[in-house]
Amino acid sequence: MTSSSTRTNNLISKERQIERLHENLVKQFKIPKRFRNKTFNNYDLERGNKQAFEKVMNYAGDYKKRVKNGTWLVLAGGYGLGKTHLALAVGRKSLKYYAEKKAKKSRSLSYIGSIPVKFISSSEMIQAIRDSYDSDQLDERQLMNGYKKTSLLIIDDLGTEKASDWQREKMYIVLNYRYNELLPTIITTNLNGSELTKHISPRVVDRMTEAADRGKYFVKFDGKSYRRSK
């Protein structure tokens, strides 16, 4: 006998199913409280960076293609210019793609399993790896695999962590794996090109630039901090 829940699911349109799955994913997406309401619609274009904003919108607008090509998005510029705001807006929008993908395989209205998008600051990532060495509950290999293999990884504030050889090695392992496996990655950084080269090595910056569609999606922001002007 068909259950009532199954009959209900069958009556729901595909569009509504995708919408429900998307809502479920957004709820599970671990967005910091300060950024939970940040979307493309409330990014302040009056402060400038219109061209940068349009490039980010272009990236998000055809996310299926970004997944296919493993295209990265790198947002570089000073503090308080809305880079994290836009990175998370892309992450939120990308969840629609994963909802659509799920809907093709199942009539389920809930997304069960690990969320396909991971957001973490670079300093938190490095600290988590360090903490795993002294923990019985955290395993470095499992932790690293989570960063390496998640469908979309958003690394915030790359360059704020200590630039030690150990740190460079761990960051290289994560980014190089994602580069080789064509996994879309979003990075925000306050460092310019030469500073990034010193901080994480020329080979990593070369890979970042190539993965960002040969620099097309290596997007630079400028202007005064939004935070200071409020």
Q: Token digits for 178?
A: 């994602």
pLDDT at 226: 63
Cα torsion for 79, 186, 168, 133, to the nearest 10°? 100
Q: Can you tell me which residue has the tokens 């790896």? A: 129
- Tell me the per-residue pLDDT of 93-129, one tens digit each, with 9 for 90 and over: 999 999 999 999 888 888 888 899 999 999 999 999 9
Residue 49, CA atoms < 13 Å, CB-side half-sphere: 25
- pTM of the entire predicted model: 0.90
Fold of 12-39+53-223: Rossmann fold (3.40.50)
Which tokens belong to 137? 């509950």
User: Do you know the residue count of the chain?
Assistant: 230
* Domain boundaries defined on the chain: 12-39+53-223
Q: What are 4-10's contacts with CB under 8 Å, separation 24+?
A: 6/107, 9/107, 9/108, 9/109, 10/107
> What is the pLDDT at residue 113?
82
Each residue's pLDDT tens digit, 166-189: 989 999 999 999 999 999 999 999
**What secondary structure does DSSP assign to 108-162, as a single string?**
-SS--SS-SEEEEEHHHHHHHHHHHTT-SS--HHHHHHHHHHSSEEEEEEET-S-
**φ/ψ bin of 44: left (φ > 0), alpha (ψ from -120 to 50), beta (otherwise):** beta
CA distances to 60, 93, 106, 107, 115 from 16, in Å: 22, 16, 13, 11, 20
pLDDT at 223: 79
pLDDT at 214: 96
What is the full DSSP assignment across 42-73? G--GGGS-HHHHHHHHHHHHTHHHHHHHT--E
* Below-50 pLDDT ranges, the chain: 1-8, 230
Per-residue pLDDT at 52: 97
